Amino acid sequence: MASGLRIVFFGTPEFAAYILRELVREGETVVRVVTTPDKPQGRGQKVRPTAVKQVAKEFRIPILTPANHRDPDFLYALKACNADIFVVVAYKILPREVFEIPRLGAFNVHASLLPKYRGAAPINWALICGEKETGITTFLIDKNVDTGNMLLAEAITIGPDETAGELHDRLMVLGAKLASQTLVGLADGALSPIPQTSEGITAAPKLFPEDCVIDFRKPVRRLHDFIRGLSPYPGAVVILHGIRIKILRSRIPSDGPNSLLPGQFQVTDDHRLLSGALDGAIEVLELQREGKRAMTAEAFLRGDRDLFRPPV
């Protein structure tokens, strides 16, 4: 059941694009889409539209791509939409001049159980920190980042070997469900915003390249969580003989040797790739050399076995 509200949708990546598509398919009235300007992407650095822009074009929804959210022309265009609500998913921080425009305000679809993992990378950090559950929270946007009063929340269990990419896709589906329920609840007055608790607050800041370098001095479990928490993007990195390699998938073997030093690699007779950690060994299952495609460890070793030789 659609809410009957007039909506302006803000978003950029695939996570937001999926939710936009589902809302439109459910009959929601999206009168404008706001997304970031086209920019170079991928290896070839070709200028491409955002995933949200592509969905907006598919459904012929008018698009705004502001460079400055306080620009008078942009604010005028938003007000002219006569929207009831703004829906914000994986987008920039909005100034008060924007989120106070619609009569019902603006709500965000956030991929964590707030107040845990406030910030730009909640999926990655939940896995890196070894959480066993996470979820989606919808909340009213206020002047601070991810601090607004909550509307709906739903939890899901995280698998012990689940990667950030796999969890992303499950949360994306849940996010669409809660976005739809939030719109209906706000339209009929059934939702009462609840302040976030001051207990259990954690941050999920943006990840930079220097944050992704593997520290093999960690315990095996933490090392495994770090690898899966960054897979497939941005990718946990090891630098061997000057070459950057992403480790995309790992497992904790039951028969791992205890003799390997942290960061010391071993290629076994049955073509497995192991690395030492603080309290044991971890098996590398999938890797990606910089500029190349991802490969299984066995396939990678056929061509780049020498990368794992001890440095001279």
How do residues 164-175 score in pLDDT, each as one tens digit?
Answer: 999 999 999 999
Percent of the chain at pLDDT above 70? 97
The tokens describing 161, both together, are 């070997």
- The answer to whether 139 and 196 have CB atoms below 8 angstroms apart is yes
Largest pairwise CA distance in the chain: 70
Partners of residue 278 on adjacent β-strands: none
Q: How confident is the model at residue 304 (pLDDT cuts 50, 70, 90)?
A: confident
- Taken in order of first residue, the domains within the chain and their CATH numbers are 6-187 (3.40.50.170), 209-308 (3.10.25.10)
Q: With 70 as the cut, is the pLDDT of residue 83 above it?
A: yes
The bridge status of strand 280-289 relative to strand 273-277 is antiparallel
157 Cβ contact partners less than 8 Å away, ≥ 6 residues apart:
132, 133
**Distance between CA atoms of residues 58 and 46, nearest Å:** 21
Name residue, tokens 């460890």: 297
Q: How confident is the model at residue 254 (pLDDT cuts 50, 70, 90)?
A: confident
Average pLDDT over residues 185-189: 97
The tokens describing 58, both together, are 């598919």
> What are the DSSP E strand ranges found in the chain?
6-11, 29-34, 39-41, 46-48, 63-64, 85-89, 106-110, 133-140, 150-157, 236-240, 243-251, 265-267, 273-277, 280-289, 294-296
pTM of the model: 0.95
Q: How much is the mean pLDDT over the chain?
A: 95
Please calculate the CA angle 158-161-165 and round it to the nearest 5 degrees.
75
Q: How confident is the model at residue 211 (pLDDT cuts 50, 70, 90)?
A: very high
